[in-house]
Amino acid sequence: MEAIYHLYCDEQVAAKISESVAQIEKNFGVKVTYSNGQFFIARSTVNVFQHQQAKHALIGLIKRGGEVFQWFWGSANGFVPYDPTSNHFIEEAYSKKIPEVTLNINNMIYRVDFTQMIQKSISGVVPRPICRLPPVEMPQRILRKNEVWCYAMEKWKKPKIFPNTVIKRLRLAFEEKKSLDIELNNIPYKVDIENMKMTDSQNRVYTLIRKSN
């Protein structure tokens, strides 16, 4: 028997978000129908994770009426949307240009840093990249399988590979065509994604290399 989620939704809201719902179908490979005040999300070939993501995306879309941006954090399986309450809190802080906010998610405390666009756990877990997109414009995975980012100087015999946490941030910056600041061994660097260059505090220039391993 095919798994189906059903979500209650007012007819006026359903009509308003119909185009966005079609985008959810496209993004997640699910079939969404509306009848008698309910949305039904069926899955055929997609996995459980995609099915659940489609459900959460539609829940957020219904609650927001399709008008508010959605925030995501990067997991090992790709980007995951924040729950509606956390999303509202993050978006409100971002709109007010607050540089950092603290969240309590499932009794875990996280700091969302808008300057570096990362989520940090106070327990010291590896930082996760975050991104802000229109409600149903799902980001691509941060790290493609076997993709490696390196940096090099002409005098070096071979390039050096970035740590995985930095690679994830570079991948996201590359997809969004944004520059960013990073740290390697407690030394700050400025990354110019457009020109694939990186400079340190002494203005030494490194070449960025993006390749498949």
Tens-of-pLDDT digits for all 213 residues of the chain? 456 878 888 888 888 888 788 878 887 788 899 988 889 998 766 677 777 778 888 887 787 665 567 888 887 666 788 887 788 789 889 988 999 999 988 788 899 999 989 998 877 777 888 888 765 555 555 444 456 788 888 778 788 888 888 888 887 787 777 889 999 988 999 998 877 889 998 999 998 877 654
Q: What is the pLDDT of residue 145?
A: 47
Question: Which residue in 38, 34, 19 sits closest to 134, CA to CA?
Answer: 19
CA distances from 23 to 36, 44, 190 (A): 22, 17, 36
Domain annotation for the chain: domains and CATH numbers: 4-64 (3.30.1370.10), 70-133 (3.30.720.50), 147-212 (3.30.720.50)
> Residue 183 carries which side chain, given as an amino acid letter?
E
Q: What is the pLDDT of residue 1?
A: 40
Kindly state the tokens that stand for 47: 């996995």
What is the side-by-side strand order in the sheet with 108-113? 78-81, 70-75, 128-133, 118-121, 108-113, 100-105
Q: What is the pLDDT of residue 152?
A: 87
Kindly state the tokens that stand for 198: 């990186």
pTM comes to 0.42
Place of tokens 């079609």: 22
